[in-house]
Chain A
């Protein structure tokens, strides 16, 4: 027996709960008019994403002028999945002495790469969107996140 999958738009709280529960996300940037994807370890502070990188990678502040950051959880067996995207811009908080930079640098970003990841960035969010696609669920059961009503296009 199969039921037709449903598509639901996630609430802001639902999106933030899912962001908080992850540790690896994918960052999409446009470099030389071409899109690139880089997986990063991150910590979420509400809708704000904090990550570290080594200096001199493609993740410069210029490349991060417009970013899409995505976290997802996909269960192919159940044919259910969710995806949360944060659109915004990257701000270098490596040396900033403002309260926000200091506070974010105190967050523990667990980097797996062996080198010293001395460059800190935050993604200042313009928009946070999330979708769930899969079998109908009881509201609020999905990974502790609450689901909003309403539908949106998938794709």
Chain B
């Protein structure tokens, strides 16, 4: 789906980088593609960034972390940024969506069981314990870059 497929009201203004600002609906639609995203956390006031495989559970982003790792420790009740993007090297177009919010470990057995049905790739080595983490999309923003040279 590109910008052409969106209703006019889904695109509002351009930002300081000359990119289109995406509506919440458009952001959620891009997040709904699932796959690989990146989580940024602060570790001792320093930023760190990790790729994760994620899926959507309702309007929440869900991913798993291997227990005992830096990422697992950093996301515990901390405010994190989660970002997904897509870029096309040929047309020089792309989009990115970022959410910001507290990460929450899912511990309720029923809620955890629900996440078993999500298309989350298990990357951890055999036997490794994992945490399941979710982030709300309450604060979501997105931008899209359209290359006018490729518009008809």
Report whether B51 and A30 are in contact in the complex, using a CB–CB cutoff of 8 Å: no
Q: With a 10 A CB-CB cut-off, give which of A53, A76, A87, A154 has the most chain B CB atoms.
A: A154
Interface hits, B121-145 → A, CB 8 Å: 121, 123-126, 145
Of the candidates B16, B49, B123, the one whose C-beta lies within 8 Å of that of A54 is B16
Which of B4-12, B21-29, B84-92, B109-117 participates in binding chain A?
B84-92
Closest to B70 in A: A155
Q: With a 10 A CB-CB cut-off, give which of A6, A23, A133, A155 has the most chain B CB atoms.
A: A155
Report whether B51 and A112 are in contact in the complex, using a CB–CB cutoff of 8 Å: no
Digitize B38-75: 1 where CB-to-A-CB distance is under 8 Å, 0 elsewhere.
Answer: 10111001111111010000000000011011111000
Report whether A87 and B46 are in contact in the complex, using a CB–CB cutoff of 8 Å: yes
Q: With a 10 A CB-CB cut-off, give which of A28, A37, A74, A112 has the most chain B CB atoms.
A: A37
Report chain B residues within 8 Å CB of A16: none
Report whether B40 and A68 are in contact in the complex, using a CB–CB cutoff of 8 Å: yes
A97 to B108, CA, bound (A): 59
Closest to A56 in B: B16
Report chain B residues within 8 Å CB of A4: 125-126
A89 to B11, CA, bound (A): 34
Report whether A28 and B36 are in contact in the complex, using a CB–CB cutoff of 8 Å: no
Interface assignment of B32: CB less than 8 Å from any CB of chain A: no
Report whether B17 and A115 are in contact in the complex, using a CB–CB cutoff of 8 Å: yes
Report chain A residues within 8 Å CB of B42: 30, 33-35
Of the candidates A5, A23, A28, the one whose C-beta lies within 8 Å of that of B125 is A5
A83 to B145, CA, bound (A): 25
List the 9 closest A-B pairs by CB distance, nearest first: A155-B69, A28-B40, A37-B83, A115-B18, A155-B71, A35-B40, A112-B92, A28-B47, A28-B49
Q: Which residues of A are in contact with B by a Cβ distance under 8 Å?
A: 4-7, 23-24, 26, 28-30, 33-39, 53-54, 56-57, 66-70, 72, 74, 76, 79, 81, 83, 85, 87, 112-115, 117, 133, 153-155
A sample of 11 more A-B contacts (CB under 8 A), given A72-B51, A85-B48, is A6-B125, A26-B49, A30-B45, A34-B42, A35-B41, A39-B96, A56-B16, A66-B46, A67-B47, A112-B87, A112-B94
